[in-house]
Structures are given as C-alpha cells and as structure tokens.
Amino acid sequence: MIAYLDSSVLLRLVLGQVDSLSELPSVDRGIASALVEVECLRTLDRLRLVESLEDSEIALRRAAIFRLLEATEVVSLTRPVLSRAAQPLPTALGTQDALHLATALTWREHSGENLVMATHDVALGTASRASGLTVIGL
C-alpha cells in the first residue's frame, strides 16, 4: 500500500503512543510533505521545553524522525501544491492540513498511483474522504 503520512502518524510512532497506526506494517511506500519534518521537530522541541524531556531523549526521537523521513518520499511545497491548498476544499481545514491534503492529491494526480491518507487528525481525515481518498488511522 502507498500511504501519505502526516505528522500525527510519525509522531505517535516515534513517541511510542499505544494508539499509533496499526496499518503501518502494510505501508510499502510512504509519501509526506516537507512540512512533516518541521511539524515533527517543532513538536519535539515543544515537548522538550514544556515537559522537560532530557536532551538524550529528544536526540533519540529526532534521530527516529530523520530515519523515517529517509525512508519516505518527501514532497516539496511547490507552487502548484501551495496554489491547490489555497483553493476551496470540500470541508473546513486549517492551513497545515490543507497543505497536507493538497500535497497528497497533487502527488496522486502526477504519479497516476493510488494512495491512502494515513492520519490521526479528524479534520484532515474528513476532508481526505470528501476528496476521494481512503483514510486509515481514525
């Protein structure tokens, strides 16, 4: 299965949360926006500051994010993706989720391959379904 992976999927995995994506072993190929790296690293930094996580713990989690991204096809936030995210969408979405959805839809159109949306974000999952994508993780 080819899956678009948003940051919620990677973070739950890296943080060892029990409700992480059960379908992840079935994902043969992961696709993600370049936005995922920023979101994941900002979240880890926020956890370091707010929850006082040790530097060694943060270093391990950051390294895990980088390993996951190396095994993932990271899609740049190109002008076509940005333009698509700015267009009306079938459901209400914030900026970051609109960028994720636009990236997934643009990738699917250019590749001609089918993909599923892997997310734990309800709003992104709803908009993805309304855009014709199968959603896993909710």
* Mean pLDDT, the chain, integer: 94
Do 30 and 72 form a contact (C-beta atoms < 8 A)?
Answer: yes
Q: Tell me the whole-structure pTM to 2 decimals.
A: 0.92
Q: What is the pLDDT of residue 53?
A: 83
Per-residue model confidence as pLDDT tens digits over 58-99: 999 999 999 999 999 999 999 999 999 999 999 999 999 999
Find the CATH number of the domain harbouring 13: 3.40.50.1010
Do 30 and 119 form a contact (C-beta atoms < 8 A)?
Answer: no
Residue 113 burial (C-beta neighbours within 10 Å; 0-12, 13-18, 19+): exposed
DSSP state for residue 24 in the 8-state scheme: G
Confidence of residue 22 (pLDDT cuts 50, 70, 90): confident
* Number of independent structural domains in the chain: 1
Q: Give the range of the structural domain holding residue 88, as residue numbers without chain letter.
A: 2-136
Query: Residue 113: helix, strand or coil by DSSP?
Result: coil
Residue 65 burial (C-beta neighbours within 10 Å; 0-12, 13-18, 19+): buried
